[in-house]
Amino acid sequence: MTKIISKDIHCALCGASHAQHLIASTSTFGTPDLDGRPAGMARSTLTHWVQECPNCGYCAAELSKAHPSARALVQSDSYRALCSDMSAPALATRFLRAALVSEAAGDLSGAGDARLHAAWVADDAGAEQLASQWRSDAADALLASPGATREAGDWRGWQAACVVDILRRAGRAVQARQHAERILDGGASVLVTQVLRFQLAALASGDRLRHTVDQALGRPEAAPGRRTLGDPLLEYLQQNHGQLLTQAERKAMWMDTVQTQEGPRWLTDDPAVLSLLTEGKAGLGRAIEQRLRAELAGELVINRCPKCGALARTSKARQCRQCPHTWRDSPV
């Protein structure tokens, strides 16, 4: 669910107070687009990512804050021109003004993000040319931005990989390819490496369309609430002893494999998770059961049919799912 609240905010530049809408909470199901645009409900919260002062035209993620450079900027001709620009969607011109504000403050990464968000507005409006132009501008800002954050773990290289997508969708295929190869040479996670190989294939075929991480990994779009663990012991452990599982065990339970050039691989670089999955999901279930048995001594109850050994659905079930046996009278 997305929850939007209304709050009076004082503009840091002119002092005027106006009601602004803020996102209290939102949710995403599924993986983002390859340029980082989130899936699910978060996707449509874009209208609330930038605030505009109706009095002076100042645009920023937070109107109550302003860099010293902002005051002169909002009075500049280029800024005023955007305030009255009717040729582009109003929300997009708000993002473009926020981009100018970030640029003036020396925040190129913020400026690149704001220009990309303007491109998303153009996508939604079906304004392809504007979307392409603003993606190109976003890529320039992001490429010039020093010290981009270095993500760790399974998403290592992700932000740089988003720039590859931005370049591809802006029609700058040569630079997109070079940038992708640079990231691959520098070392990216399994996940991001797969994304970049997908990008290289898309670039080779002249594809400039929108794609999601799920598509790049070759897996079906995630349907919320539909995923199952696919292993009876893991299902049982999660349902009955979920609170006893470690973070690595939980992550390993839900881990997918991906088809790579070197054959199938787990979609993680996390050594703790990889070691739990050495013998696959069935081995993971056995390892968790063994750990819980050792740690809980006699307290762990794994409810198996006394006759055939099949797992029951829950710890309280007294009926086998595999054979006709029931054990209603016997204490477990």
Exposure string over 136-159, b if 16+ CB within 10 A, otherwise e: bbbbbbbbebeeeeebeebbbbbb
Tell me whether residue 30 or residue 232 sits nearer to Zn ion (CB atom).
232
Cα radius of gyration rounded to whole Å, the chain: 26
| Chain residues in the site for Zn ion (CB under 5 A) | 11, 13-14, 53, 55-56, 58, 305, 307-308, 310, 320, 322-323, 325
CB of 170 to Zn ion, least distance (A): 33
CB of 304 to Zn ion, least distance (A): 8
CB of 96 to Zn ion, least distance (A): 17
Length of the chain: 332
Tell me whether residue 9 or residue 39 sits nearer to Zn ion (CB atom).
9
Which element (helix H / strand E) includes 319? none
CB of 305 to Zn ion, least distance (A): 3
Tell me whether residue 38 or residue 57 sits nearer to Zn ion (CB atom).
57
CB of 53 to Zn ion, least distance (A): 3
Tell me whether residue 236 or residue 266 sits nearer to Zn ion (CB atom).
236
The amino acid that residue 153 corresponds to is G
Q: Which long-range contacts (CB under 8 A, 24 or more apart) does 174-183 make?
A: 175/139, 176/203, 177/203, 179/143, 183/157
- Between CA 305 and CA 317 the distance in angstroms is 10
Tell me whether residue 17 or residue 145 sits nearer to Zn ion (CB atom).
17
What lies within 8 Å, CB to CB, of 252 at 6+ separation is: 273, 276, 277, 284
